[in-house]
Chains A and B, each alone.
Chain A
Amino acid sequence: MAISREDVEHIAFLARLGLSDGEKQTFQEQLSGILEYMKTLTELDTSEIPPTAQVIPLTNVMRDDVVRPSLTREQVLANAPEREGDFLRVPPVLD
Chain B
Amino acid sequence: MSKATYEPVIGLETHVQLQTQSKMFCSCSAAYAGADPNTHVCPVCMAMPGTLPVMNRQAVEYALLTGIALNCEHPEASKFDRKNYPYPDLVKGYQISQYDLPFSANGWLTVDVDGESYRIGITRAHMEEDTAKLLHRKGNGSAYSLIDLNRSGVPLLEIVSEPDIRSPAQARAYLQKMRLIVQTLGVSTGNMEEGAMRCDVNVSLRPTGTQAFGVKVEIKNLNSARSVQRALEYEIERQTRALETGERIIQETRGFDEDRGITVSQRSKEEAHDYRYFPEPDLPPIFISREWVAELRSGMPELPDAKRDRYVQQFELSRYDAVQLTSSVGISNLFEQTVALYPKPKIVANWVQGEIFRVLNDTGIELEASHVTPDALVEVLGMLDDGTITQAVAKQVFEEAIKTGATPKAIVAERGLTQISDASELEHAVAEAIANAPQAVADYRAGKQQAIGFLTGQVMKATRGKANPGTVNEILRRQLDQA
Contact = CB atoms under 8 A, between A and B. Distances in A.
Verify whether A and B have any Cβ pair under 8 Å: yes
B57 A64 contact: yes
B55 A53 contact: no
Among A61, A70, A88: residue with most chain B CB under 10 A? A70
Interface of B is mostly: loop
B279 A53 contact: yes
A90 B20 CA distance: 30
Contacts of A14: 274, 276
Contact of A91 (B144, B281, B287): B144
B268 interface: yes
Interface in A14-68: 14, 16, 53-54, 56, 58-68
Contact of B134 (A16, A54, A93): A93
Interface in B40-57: 40-43, 46, 54-57
A84 interface: yes
Contacts of B142: 92
Count class of interface residues, chain B = 35 or more
Contacts of A61: 54-55, 283-284
B56 A67 contact: no
Contacts of B88: 90, 93
A59 B288 CA distance: 10
A87 B286 contact: no
A63 B145 contact: no
A76 B38 contact: yes
B57 A62 contact: yes
A95 B136 CA distance: 14
A86 B135 CA distance: 12
Given A54-B285, A63-B56, A76-B46, A70 B28 contact: yes
B287 A77 contact: no
Contacts of A71: 41-43, 46
Contact of A89 (B21, B60, B144, B283): B144
Nearest to A94: B143
A92 B142 CA distance: 8
Contacts of B287: 59-60
B42 A70 contact: yes
Contacts of A86: 36-38, 148
A43 B1 CA distance: 62
Contact of B146 (A16, A72, A84): A84
A95 B41 contact: no
Nearest to B60: A62
B408 to A, nearest CB: 42
B57 A65 contact: yes
Contacts of A77: 38
B269 interface: yes
Given A16-B86, A71-B41, A87 B147 contact: yes
B286 A73 contact: no
Contact of A65 (B20, B36, B146): B20
B396 interface: no
B27 A66 contact: yes
A14 B60 CA distance: 32
A51 to B, nearest CB: 9
Contacts of B481: none
B367 to A, nearest CB: 28
Contacts of B313: none
B471 interface: no
B270 interface: yes
B286 A67 contact: no
Contacts of A68: 22, 27-28
What are the nearest 4 A-B pairs in CB distance? A65-B58, A68-B27, A87-B146, A62-B57
Given A62-B57, A65-B57, 19 more contacts: A54-B281, A58-B284, A59-B284, A59-B285, A60-B284, A61-B54, A61-B55, A64-B57, A64-B58, A65-B20, A66-B22, A70-B41, A87-B146, A88-B149, A91-B145, A93-B136, A93-B145, A95-B268, A95-B270
11 contacts: A14-B276, A56-B284, A61-B283, A64-B57, A67-B22, A67-B29, A73-B41, A77-B38, A84-B146, A86-B37, A89-B145
